[in-house]
Amino acid sequence: MKYFLGVDLGTSSLKIILGNENGELLGSTSSAFSIHSPQANFSEENPADWLQAFDQALAELTDQFPEIKTADLTLGFSGQMHSLVLIDQTGKVLRPAILWNDGRTTEEVQELRESVGEHLLIVEKNIPLEGFTLPKILWVQKHQPEIWKQVWKFMLPKDYLVYYLTGKVFTDPSDASGTIFLDSEKQCWDQVLLEKFGIRADQCPEVKPSTEIIGEMTTDLRQHFELSGKVELVMGGADNACGAFGTITDPQTQGLISVGTSGVVLVYENEKTLEALGKYHYFYSVIKDVHYKMGVTLSAGYSLDWFKNILAPDDSFASFTQAAENSPIGSQGLTFLPYLFGERSPYFDPTLNGALLGLRAHHKRNDLIRAVMEGITFSLRNVYENMGIGQSHLVERFRITGGVVKNPFWLQLFADVFQTELEVLSFDEGPAYGALLCGVAGRNDTEILKNWQKANQVKTIYKPNYKHFAEYQAAYNRFKRLSDSAKEQ
């Protein structure tokens, strides 16, 4: 029996899921680690914590499923995007990883906009933002030149994990495109940017396909984990790219909505019509020669969690959100703007503030809760409408993932607001599932791939109630008007 492991290195934990060649998902383990913020706007992690988390999660998995110790294993990887890892020639990590949600690079972003902003839009198809990798490299060059002089390679988080397991330095197109110095069409590092910013080509990891076997686990680590079978590794991809790969089965008609701490709307790009560039992210997928458009609401599920902790910290989410069902569409004129951390798409403004607008004496607890849920949903619709989706490529249905799938009321609200069918799949394992599928694809075994393509069927479909369209449209128009006004101030 062959086994497949999907490894997702997230921002707060590492998760491993296990499946077999029959397309059966067997189990999962996870291990948490902490973000460090040594000063305002800094967000860092120690890569050693990632390795410890992997060791712990894999050890727990082999304890639960001892049969995998003697079997052939294929590991696929997914990871948080953009975060910067720097190592020297000996493999030593030179400084803590600078994370995707680190905000120290505002000056570097402004420098990029002024000096190469047009080039980035034409070649990389993105605008510079604090979260991306290139501004982080410029920050290290400027503020820690003694560290930059020692850099042998830069890596993304999952790439560092692969390096630990194999001793090889690679990345994949989906993660590389999130650095914003990978040529979007040629799939190679942008020589113009490398030369301009003093980054040597040999400091960049070699770009390998997401579904290609790139090596085996080192003998020492196989012995450490008591693995006697062959253990091969597939690069996999960035977290959202893997999330889409594990969720979307028809790129022509389906899109992805993910509602976790942040919210994501993702659509594969097949027309090569890049309207409204700069209002969304344009990255490479784990599918060969296919890109995707993606927009992000920074504080999606976080907004609801934040509000619940203020209003009812001891309530369950189920009982807390159930109260919203007793408020009418539009929350009796209340509008919530979920900009608790500023905003990514489509405003790209870290100074935007969250707000609860239209509050009057007649409003009740139910109205406030519904307003927050509607505001998050409206924000993601605003993201989608600014993604330059042509009329010939409108999404026919969305597949939705994340904590929202546990809430039927909110799922119906999404269907009504987007006026599109929503599909919930049988199991929701996030990017780890896409990483596992990358591993499956890497085996080039048609039968095993067919087994997994049939594994995760649609469990529930939420159809929009067109009787509610006018009411939701009015509430959405109010949200959009207030959001645009907040951006202009």
pLDDT digits (tens, 9 = 90+) for 355-379: 999 999 999 999 999 999 999 999 9
Whether 227 contacts 217, CB under 8 Å: yes
Spatial separation of the C-alpha atoms in residues 382 and 378, rounded to whole Å? 6
Q: How far is 149 from 195, CA to CA, in rounded Å?
A: 16
Identify the sign of the CA torsion 313, 316, 320, 321: positive
Q: What is the per-residue burial (b if ≥16 Cβ within 10 Å, else e) of 255-269?
A: bbbbbbbbbbbbbbb
Q: Report the 10 Å Cβ neighbour count for 417.
A: 22
Q: Which residues contact 105 (CB under 8 A, 6 or more apart)?
A: 130, 135, 136, 138, 139
Best CA proximity match to 317, nearest among 364, 243, 277, 373: 373
Question: Which residues in 65-105 belong to E strands, given as ranges?
Answer: 73-79, 85-87, 97-98
The 397-402 sheet, strands edge to edge: 281-284, 291-297, 263-269, 254-259, 397-402, 421-425, 458-462
Supply 238's token pair: 């960035």
Backbone φ and ψ for 384, nearest 5 degrees, come out as: -60, -45
- Has 315 been annotated as catalytic? no
- Residue 185 has a pLDDT of 87
* Catalytic residue, candidates 159, 190, 239, 428: 239
Angle in degrees, 0-180, between the axes of helices 365-385 and 301-311, rounded to the nearest 10:
170
Helices (H) and strands (E) in the chain, counts: 16, 21
| Predicted local distance difference test score (pLDDT) of residue 273 | 61
d(CA 212, CA 123): 26
pLDDT tens-digit series, residues 103-119: 899 999 999 999 999 99
Q: Where are the beta strands (DSSP E) in 320-407?
A: 335-337, 355-357, 397-402
Please say if the pLDDT value at position 276 is more than 80.
no
Q: If pLDDT is split at 50, 70 and 90, which confidence band does 443 have?
A: very high
Q: Which of 195-204, 244-253, 361-370 has the lowest mean pLDDT?
A: 244-253
Nearest residue to 85 via CA among 71, 97, 69, 73:
97
pTM of the predicted model as reported, rounded to 2 decimal places:
0.92
Q: What number is the average pLDDT over the span 251-255?
A: 91
Contacts of 203 (CB under 8 A, 6+ apart): 151, 152, 153, 154
- pLDDT at 275 (0 to 100): 72
- 288-310 tens-digit pLDDT: 989 999 999 989 999 999 999 99
Q: What pLDDT, on a 0 to 100 scale, did the predictor assign at position 390?
A: 57
The answer to whether the beta carbons of residues 133 and 180 sit under 8 Å apart is yes
Cis peptide before 431 (omega within 30 of 0): no
Which tens digit of pLDDT belongs to each residue from 310-342? 999 999 989 999 999 999 999 999 999 999 988
Tokens for 165?
């397991």
In the β-sheet with 73-79, what is the strand arrangement from edge to edge?
Answer: 25-32, 13-20, 3-9, 73-79, 231-238, 213-216
Domains and CATH numbers, the chain: 3-240 (3.30.420.40), 249-429+457-489 (3.30.420.40)
- Cβ-contact 340, 299 below 8 angstroms: yes
pLDDT in tens, 8-37: 999 889 999 999 999 999 999 999 999 998
Say if residue 392's pLDDT is above 60: no
Sign of CA dihedral 9, 11, 14, 18: negative
Mean pLDDT of the chain: 94
